[in-house]
Structure 1
Amino acid sequence: MTAIAATPRSAPAGRTHEVTNQPPPRVGHDAADDPVLLEGLAREGAAWYTEDLHRIGRLTGSEQVQRWAREANAHGPVLRTHDRYGNRVDEVDFHPAYHSLMEVAVGEGLGGTPWADPRPGAHVARAAGFMVWSSAEAGHGCPVSMTYAAVPALRSAPELAAVYEPLLTSRSYDPGLRAPTGKRGLLAGMGMTEKQGGTDVRSNTTAAVPEGDGTWRLRGHKWFTSAPMNDLFLVLAQAPGGLSCFLVPRVLPDGTRNTFRIQRLKDKLGNRSNASSEPEFDDTVGWLVGEEGRGVRTIIEMVTMTRLDCVLGSASGTRAALAEAAHHVRHRRVSGALLADQPLMRNVIADLGVESEAATALALRLAGAADRAQRGDAGERAFLRLATAVAKYWVCKRQPAAVAEALECLGGNGYDEASGMPRLYRDAPLNGIWEGSGNVNALDVLRALTREPGCLDAFRAEVDAAAGADTRLDTAWRSLLGELGTPSDPGEAALGARRLVERMALVLQGSLLVRHAPAAVADAFCATRLGGEGGAAFGTLPRGADLAGIWERVPR
């Protein structure tokens, strides 16, 4: 038999195929180059922050920060309960990427800094910066948020605030367990829930006993305390006079370790870069914050601000997923045409764009209310009280569905960890659970409507500002007002609380979009969310919707 010699082909060594029709990496962009965000920033009084926001946006979109985000999640926190000699240390070690993310966040004033900034719009600027920066990596936002939220609660104890507030509002990230007053900056956390009660904090069994020298001794076990390596914690415990709030430092003023035994870290679905823990208190030193027996009232100041950050975070996560999906379809071809040019995909992305714009507009409106409320505006404080609970319920509830749809736009690529979409998807349900689940916030809305009538007046004024601009909005609002003004049995009211709060969120978003968004976005929102012209899934905008006008608002 004659051997047949193979003819060598010219091809690069080791190359078996050529990669085509894959989108380029989405790096080197400005994550703040977003008309929805920039318009909201100016509208709520913080246009002076625009240049800084773009600087943060360019850093967010850099390859370096994207690498930090991947590494901080791939190499999560590790608990060390003891040192090599058997001494308890209760420390949590983080990957250097986590520290890099935290250093930027604190250095950019995304923690407690706005409370020390006299400029109108300081809280709006911080909210926009938080939304842009956390779009790169959401987990490290938890300690940043709690530090921001701790300041107004700590002010219930002026003598403690005088010592710690300057450090909580610092721009210096100074990790490590040392005496608080010897550090350049501090981070704060909270310890509320226990395993027998969860949200029902009045069932807490952690006990606090006064020492007679201004300090208290705490004993008990907390079930879900995030960021245990922070410096200070606001903790709920049962004092002789009832449930009270205490400041518990990890390290005491004399430099000795306070008893803060970390039993284990939670193995969570998402939020992997952030440590969440079960600490045990045993003769742990604390200081009373606020009145004895009024702990919930004291710590609710912190909860309100962390709920605001949940809304900001969900709006940010929704927009991040939209941006990734839009980038993919702008480069991927199917049947010879870009996905972005194919009618059904255009509808899906446009619908996600409408959802994202509604979430962003509402989030920034809340930030504006928070800024004006802390400057003494009673009407804005009343609006914030009700609208935060409404937005916390709805915006956080919508994020998982929106992220899932965005992931699907990438097909199998979206299910691959390398795309980053699975991390966005795992993180998506968190804000709906943190600081009160959907039911908790829906019932809180009923509580505000029943006990604080001024809240409804402020909410009504906000929605009424768009009266006459869209008949679908007007009709939905009249129907809702009729229900809000009709007394009902408490049991029946609770049974329908979710539907009520959903409708409140939609008319509030509709009012904001009708007043501030382009006609294409506002019309599509009112048609589908208020007028019944859309379906249950995304991508069901009706015929005649101005998809091109909506796409102009979709980030690149």
Structure 2
Amino acid sequence: MRRAKETSNTGFFQQQPELKNQYYDDVSLQRVIKLFLPSSLLEQVEPEIAQLGHDVLSPQIFDWVTDAERNLPYLRGNGRDAFGKPRSELVVTEGWKRLQDFGFEKGMVASNYDTDYGQYTRLVQFTRCHLWEASCANTLCPAAMQDGAARLLQRHLSAPDSSVSPTQRRVLQNAYDHLTSREPGKAWTSGQWMTERTGGSDVSQTETIATYDPYHSTAPAPLANAQEDIPLGPWSISGFKWFSSATDSHMTILLARTGPAKGVSAFFAPMRRHVPSSSSSSSPPATTELNGITIQRLKSKFGTQSLPTAELQLTNTRGWLIGAEGKGIHEISTILNITRVHSTVSSLGYLGRSLGVAKAFARVREIGAGRGTRLPLHQHPLHMRTLANITVDYHAMMLLAFYTLHILGLDEHPPSPSQSTITKTLTPPAHLLPPLLRVLSSLHKAYISETAVPLVFACMEALGGVGYLLNAESEPINLARIFRDACVGAIWEGTTDVLSGDTLRALKHPAAGRDSLDALDWVVTAALSSASPIATAGVERIREEWRRLKARIETETHEALLPEARDVVFRVAEVLMAALFVVDVRARPGAEAERMCLRYLAKRGFVDGGEAGGGSSARDGLEMDRAIVYGPGKGEGAGERAGSRL
């Protein structure tokens, strides 16, 4: 019988990949949370986090993503009214708003402030962010600045400071309450306005000027919010901000100069101000307008297109000074410590989702294997080796990111008396926490956000031609969108070069550099003292490489090291990841974990390549690769804990 001719509507159609609940399906996520979270706490939080992993894959979420990507933010009337008068009215899509409301309700930021898991609070929060990132259409970007601003205000509100007036304390408390709310109608996001045309990441070149100009006591102060009786600040701020994300935020923390000799200062400013009605009491309620802010234009970007990013003109924007004059960079560093962690987790969230899609595709896609036979991709040795190699790098970076979160949690909370043996092993003395966080705050993002981009691309490539398509009609597998958005991780919150230079500056600081080196030395020594026997061959090589790096940082000048800063910082990161890998294997041994560790050590030159082979035969190698990618016994797709499917 003659075979029917294939048409556009008949013949072979590829089975749709089924994306699984990543809380269960992401082998690396499972390992790191079990490494850093006590089992009693994990049992407590797991049901809610697992449900989140299900919810972020719902058809409704992806419909909102498609809407946010297709209907991009714009300025009504291109920034003018019908008669040409400037009018900065930003319009965002309903999909963006609904995704932002989902993030509020799920407490993506608030959970760090309204729950108390002690030192583990950040780890729990960012586990949830990791699952949400690739489904949120970039709403976690303003959430990151919301988190950083909340932490900054929390620090000022908790410290007795006679320089803060009762009125300003009430203003900051009001803002903090909004920033940490889970109610969509009440919760605020925040901007973080630093970048100007003169300096880019070099905020020392800030040209925005703030002038102390309090209102006369005989006249009522204008209000930011009439219902809550919140006054605008006594500082008048004017200037131009070149690259400002979260343009639809409710407030901002920004940098401005208060005088030629006073340096850069930090300010809190509401985005909008109350406009009193001049009509009778029967008139419609009073409206609001932007607080001396004009949206000059929205940026057109390669990725993160759903996120409104703008150039802003500030003219008599009213705000409140945060901290002391001239200490703006110190104040903004509190926010950067948080937003850079968000950027790193964002990069890993994109990579984790990309791997999830590539794994799902390999379960259902068949390819020709010669002599008329076909072979599922998850049984193809080369394809599985590629995915296994991506998984090894992903897991190493997950270890570094979650260790940074462990240190951030310790910086914000005292150590728990119920720490696991592993977290005790990796918890430095209290005096080393600040210098360790100082160096990690730039190092983790410099390495991870840069390295994740080609790995996300490799996952996109693993889908072949369909991976290159903007699959809005099949949004769960739209890796082209994820790749475009992932690229920004290596650029915002400091490019890789900027952060590498910043890490080097921390290590070479005349006063604090010694402490930062001692802190890193403590981590490497502590981690390798508990090394797994399987990694014994690499332990001494890791120690030797760290001693070499440490000696180089100690003896060479900052000027001599600066051209090589990226290589030096990346190598420090690889030493840390290698050390954390051997801790991970000791904590939860297993054939696939041991093989992952050895492969990573071989790839980074800590063991010879022959010690990290795939097995005694090609079949052993395939089975090992499948165990690395899918978890032990899960490569066939049978008997897996399915979790949520689309």
TM-score, structure 1 normalization: 0.90
Q: Distance in 1 between matches of 2:441 and 2:238?
A: 33
- What value does the CA root-mean-square deviation take over the aligned residues? 2.5
Q: Contact (CA 8 Å) 1:113, 1:168: kept in 2 or not?
A: no
What is the SS of the residue equivalent to 2:88?
Answer: strand
Quickly say closer, same or farther: Cα 1:86–1:465, change in 2 above 3 A: same
User: CA offset at residue 134 of structure 1?
Assistant: 0.9
What is the SS of the residue equivalent to 2:236?
Answer: strand
Instruction: List aligned pairs for 1:477-556, cutoff 5 A.
Output: 477-485=543-551, 486-517=554-585, 518-531=593-606, 542-544=613-615, 546-553=624-631
Q: Distance in 1 between matches of 2:154 and 2:312?
A: 25
2:396 matches 1:358: yes
Query: Deviation string for 1:166-198 (max 9, x for gaps)?
Result: 111111223xxxxxxxxx221111100101210
Q: Contact (CA 8 Å) 2:96, 2:137: kept in 1 or not?
A: no
Q: Distance in 1 between matches of 2:607 and 2:31?
A: 28
Structure 2 counterpart of 1:94, from 86, 92, 95: 92
- Of all paired residues, the percent bearing the same amino acid is 25
Output the amino acid matched with 2:12. V
What is the SS of the residue equivalent to 2:22?
Answer: coil
Instruction: Single out whichever of 476-485 and 293-302 deviates more from structure 2.
Output: 476-485
Report how many residues are paired. Answer: 532
Q: Which residue of 2 aligns with 1:166?
A: 177
Query: Deviation string for 1:40-88 (max 9, x for gaps)?
Result: 2343335132111111100112222222222211221112334557665
Instruction: Single out whichever of 72-81 and 309-318 deviates more from structure 2.
Output: 72-81
Instruction: Single out whichever of 499-508 and 374-383 deviates more from structure 2.
Output: 374-383
Quickly say closer, same or farther: Cα 1:116–1:389, change in 2 above 3 A: same
Q: Contact (CA 8 Å) 2:265, 2:329: kept in 1 or not?
A: yes
Structure 2 counterpart of 1:26, from 14, 18, 22: 18
Structure 1 counterpart of 2:437, from 376, 384, 389: 384
User: CA offset at residue 354 of structure 1?
Assistant: 0.8
Q: Distance in 2 between matches of 1:347 and 1:35?
A: 16
Q: Which residue of 1 aligns with 2:527?
A: 466
2:51 matches 1:52: no
What is the SS of the residue equivalent to 1:222?
Answer: strand
Instruction: List aligned pairs for 1:76-475, cutoff 5 A.
Output: 76-80=72-76, 81-83=79-81, 88-120=86-118, 121-155=120-154, 157-158=156-157, 159=169, 160-174=171-185, 184-212=186-214, 215-240=234-259, 241-252=262-273, 257-335=290-368, 336-376=374-414, 378=430, 379-418=432-471, 419-451=477-509, 452=512, 453-467=514-528, 468-469=531-532, 470=535, 471-475=537-541
What is the SS of the residue equivalent to 2:264?
Answer: strand
Structure 1 spans left out of the alignment, 5+ residues: 1-8, 175-183, 536-540
Output the amino acid matched with 2:128. G
Quickly say closer, same or farther: Cα 1:376–1:382, change in 2 above 3 A: farther
Q: Contact (CA 8 Å) 1:520, 1:549: kept in 2 or not?
A: no
Q: Contact (CA 8 Å) 1:304, 1:388: kept in 2 or not?
A: yes
Q: Distance in 2 between matches of 1:338 and 1:284?
A: 61
Quickly say closer, same or farther: Cα 1:543–1:39, change in 2 above 3 A: closer
Q: Contact (CA 8 Å) 2:104, 2:187: kept in 1 or not?
A: no
Q: Contact (CA 8 Å) 2:538, 2:607: kept in 1 or not?
A: no
User: CA offset at residue 442 of structure 1?
Assistant: 0.7
**Greater RCO structure (CA 8 Å; 6+ sep):** 2
Q: Contact (CA 8 Å) 2:191, 2:252: kept in 1 or not?
A: yes
Q: Contact (CA 8 Å) 2:96, 2:139: kept in 1 or not?
A: yes
Output the amino acid matched with 1:396. S
Q: Distance in 2 between matches of 1:125 and 1:295?
A: 30
Q: Which residue of 2 aligns with 1:538?
A: none
Output the amino acid matched with 1:209. T
Q: Distance in 2 between matches of 1:364 and 1:334?
A: 37
Q: Contact (CA 8 Å) 1:156, 1:298: kept in 2 or not?
A: no
Instruction: Single out whichever of 250-259 and 314-323 deviates more from structure 2.
Output: 250-259
Q: Contact (CA 8 Å) 1:473, 1:526: kept in 2 or not?
A: no
What is the SS of the residue equivalent to 2:10?
Answer: coil
Structure 1 counterpart of 2:64, from 62, 68, 87: 68
Q: Contact (CA 8 Å) 1:112, 1:147: kept in 2 or not?
A: no
Query: Deviation string for 1:183-218 (max 9, x for gaps)?
Result: x22111110010121011111111111114561111
What is the SS of the residue equivalent to 1:337?
Answer: strand
Q: Distance in 1 between matches of 2:16 and 2:128?
A: 26
Structure 2 spans left out of the alignment, 5+ residues: 158-168, 216-232, 276-287, 369-373, 416-429, 472-476, 586-592, 616-620, 636-641
What is the SS of the residue equivalent to 2:527?
Answer: coil
Q: Contact (CA 8 Å) 2:542, 2:579: kept in 1 or not?
A: no
Q: Distance in 2 between matches of 1:299 and 1:123?
A: 19
TM-score, structure 2 normalization: 0.78
